[in-house]
Chain A
């Protein structure tokens, strides 16, 4: 059973079932245009693109397709909204915070609509969209609302007769390119700290999943953000996305997506105007289970850790290292869990796993599954698609996986759990770190020394101990090595959205 926020706290299924929210079965999609200056626009080219429901394979609707001229218009609006003397620049910091709180209020009001849209667009189970995605969005907005008037510079004791202080100014116009796996949540992770610090935004949501991002445009306007502060341009990566990463009037870009595209974005930022760059990229995250772990807890956490969101998480626990002594039992219990996992219509309240996002991902995952079989891993369950039509894949478990297999090295982004064996702590540290990725890691053990040794030794931006996917707005999140640059969430995200200015004033006489 899917637990709150994907984090399993005690391994026990919740006995009490509260009244569950129900999705809106015939929801009309109201917002399909480009959002600039709090107004809805058609694309400059007149082109539109379709967005599909991956569980029915039917087209939901057509969306205005933004390209460079639309991005240019959005940037112009964002730049104007950022001018000295503008309503946004002159606004008191706590008022920015209040607007973010009000936006959270409206998300709560329209929670069922947004969760329904998100499910239609991504195929994720409705209850997960409602309880996890939307919960994360609301909490993150409220968290950053609280920071808005606490963006503090310093006064600095320099030598000689000077008064020196720093201002933490907003960077300016921030471009945000968001992915399709958690469309609204990833948008809020960028929007909240950016607006909290006083920036303006030009957002390009993933072409597979623009609906919730566009809906939030209507809420931005309703809440009362000044025109031009938030602009949303749906479109494709090589056109609208590239227009953002190469734009000379965008001061910063934040991107969540694949490592391959992240590199292109950093390159484009350098070639154009040295815009500041934050990247949240892929992972091949180790999940280390020691013999003294609480086995039930470890099995359930590892299971949810890899299968959550159809395996489409940058944090997916896609290399499970189990200490030799408990290996057979761990595999046996993991297979039981995988076989019980309910795959089906994401609008059905019992469903735990929906379809993959699109044909391209579906094909890639099946190809990697085949490579697992071919390269000699033992297929314990699953291993193929569910029916002839549709993008559903059976929860798949491989055991006897070795480090050189493709399923042990490449990010699968699908419901496939590779389980490998280890003997010693030194060995597993070395193997866990042998990857160019470094996003998250998890350790299951009751031993204090082991836990803290591994917490130090693992080259990952987040290390979970006796839990998985414990992600909240307060704690910074980001990658070591090629899993990213910079951190989102927590106080640390504020540094990614401010530009520091040092002011040094000469005095005729020193003051202590």
Chain B
């Protein structure tokens, strides 16, 4: 059901929608379908909880931190339930959900809990006889739209910094994967957050999501998802009330392997960097540039690695790859695979669907990929690895940067000059050296160019959830 003011509600329209298990295409259950009317209710509750003098606004900052830590405790207590739910709803391998997703959630909650009473303004030495200081206030009611690839992790990445800074939130989880977000509602109530601080409205993008991005009483919208929808959200924010916008969007991230790299490590990182969670990561290393001298060997080892997969029910041990999230993604990935074949890339393994039920696709590797092919330009979001060849540093920098995306990038080399040249030259929000997918709540994460606006996590993430107020008080005489 819909979670508003720490209570469970039916949808105003009475409608529900179905949630499916992508491993077997069966319906798991039905969920109340929120639309504009429900968003309006949620915003009212969030606005009231944000009023001056409310329990949330008058709470000590340290107490906000304590609540976040308590929430982390409850997530740890119910880790098994949440991991199972995430695996069934999202097609995620259970072991990955338990170890990686839930691990990340708990760490992020505890990291942000620690910041709560360290949101510092400044005193500013202004000219004239004044005492000037800044307050870093919460922005207000934050609308947060969550994707389906890491439903619980993305939910926590949004609410943790928002709550840490004292905001109230209205969250719309992805329609494919609302279950863990709704379960979190019960934990939020149990932890003791005042009513209205967190509200969760499941529903669809064009209805509930659009209601958020257009809402005249939401002060900020934060979205993780496709670049296409990200643009619509920022547009809506401009058309409505100039709400502040943070976007985490798509990527076509380059992974650059030099001849002097540790080849085993490079192959493994490149593999996991692409195939993790069935390729459904914004940071997927989907353009692998390998220096000519080691190209053939790299391709050979990558194919070997990709062939070692068992596909199947993500709840079962021994399964290494689950299904894609839904039919729409499934068809899009297969279409892009066909384009790869048609445009002349060499299909090294995989290249088609697997099994007779569920949205499974065989791990696929293409070599001899050239930059103009669709598989080299468009975000696939599936288990399809592109390997291309390069000769020189300047060439590969230019090719790596030749995209409107800019989320992540990696370089594998032992040479210090190469490593630091690439760290500066690559137009990406995160650059990994001799590793891939190293993401942690301490580090800011976000996109250059059309991969996003703003940063999440780290101290930088706090900036996105505060509004700065300058207070200037006249005094009789200033002394430094």
Contacts and interface: CB of A to CB of B under 8 A. Distances in A.
Interface string A453-464: 001110011111
Interface string A471-505: 01011111011101101001110010001111111
B134 to A, nearest CB: 6
Contacts of A264: 238
A487 B122 CA distance: 14
B237 A266 contact: yes
B243 to A, nearest CB: 9
A275 to B, nearest CB: 9
Interface stretch (A108-116, A152-160, A348-356, A393-401): A152-160
Interface in A235-290: 251, 259, 262-271, 273-274, 276, 279, 281
Count chain A CB atoms within 10 A of each CB in B127, B230, B455 and give the residue with the most: B127
Interface in B409-450: 419, 423-425, 428-435, 438, 440, 442-446, 448-450
A166 interface: yes
Interface in B225-247: 227, 230-235, 237-239, 241-242, 244, 247
Given A475-B472, A504-B431, A470 B134 contact: no
A474 B135 contact: no
Contact of A462 (B125, B428, B472): B472
A162 B410 CA distance: 14
Judged by DSSP, the binding face of B is mixed
A476 B470 contact: yes
Contact of A156 (B130, B428, B443): B443
B443 A158 contact: yes
Interface stretch (B7-15, B24-32, B459-467): B459-467
Contacts of A270: 231-235, 237-238
B433 A505 contact: yes
Nearest to B130: A470
B242 A467 contact: no
A262 B227 CA distance: 22
B474 interface: yes
B35 interface: no
A378 interface: no
A30 interface: no
Contacts of B237: 266, 270
Nearest to B457: A502
A2 B244 CA distance: 37
Contacts of A463: 469-472
Given A457-B52, A470-B130, A495-B463, A503 B231 contact: no
Given A274-B247, A456-B52, A470 B128 contact: yes
A271 B470 contact: no
B276 to A, nearest CB: 16
A110 to B, nearest CB: 23
A266 B238 contact: yes
Nearest to A272: B231
B473 interface: yes
Contacts of A162: 435, 438
A439 to B, nearest CB: 11
A7 B128 contact: yes
Contacts of B463: 495
Contacts of B404: 273
B129 A9 contact: yes
Contacts of B242: 259, 262-263, 266, 279, 281, 481-482, 484-485
A72 to B, nearest CB: 18
A467 B476 CA distance: 12
Contacts of A504: 430-433, 435, 438, 443
A75 interface: no
A465 interface: yes
A451 interface: yes
Nearest to A268: B238
A160 B432 CA distance: 14
Interface in B186-203: none
Contacts of A292: none
B453 interface: yes
Contacts of A157: 442
B468 interface: yes
Contacts of A491: 122
B473 A466 contact: yes
B124 A475 contact: yes
A466 B474 contact: yes
A274 B455 contact: no
A503 B433 contact: yes
A158 B111 CA distance: 11
A502 B470 contact: no
A274 B231 contact: yes
B472 A500 contact: no
A176 to B, nearest CB: 18
B126 interface: yes
Contacts of A93: none
B205 interface: no
A463 B467 CA distance: 13
Nearest to B134: A476
B407 to A, nearest CB: 11
A167 interface: yes
B101 interface: no
B433 A500 contact: no
B219 A465 contact: no
B132 interface: yes
Given A266-B237, A504-B430, A504-B432, 12 more contacts: A159-B442, A164-B440, A262-B242, A263-B239, A269-B234, A269-B238, A274-B450, A279-B242, A465-B472, A475-B470, A490-B470, A504-B433
Interface of A: 5, 7, 9, 84, 139, 154, 156-160, 162, 164, 166-167, 251, 259, 262-271, 273-274, 276, 279, 281, 429, 436, 451, 455-457, 460-467, 470, 472, 474-478, 480-482, 484-485, 487, 490-492, 495, 499-506
22 contacts: A84-B425, A158-B443, A164-B443, A166-B444, A263-B238, A263-B239, A270-B231, A270-B234, A274-B453, A279-B242, A455-B135, A455-B469, A463-B470, A463-B472, A465-B471, A470-B128, A470-B474, A472-B126, A474-B126, A474-B127, A482-B242, A504-B435
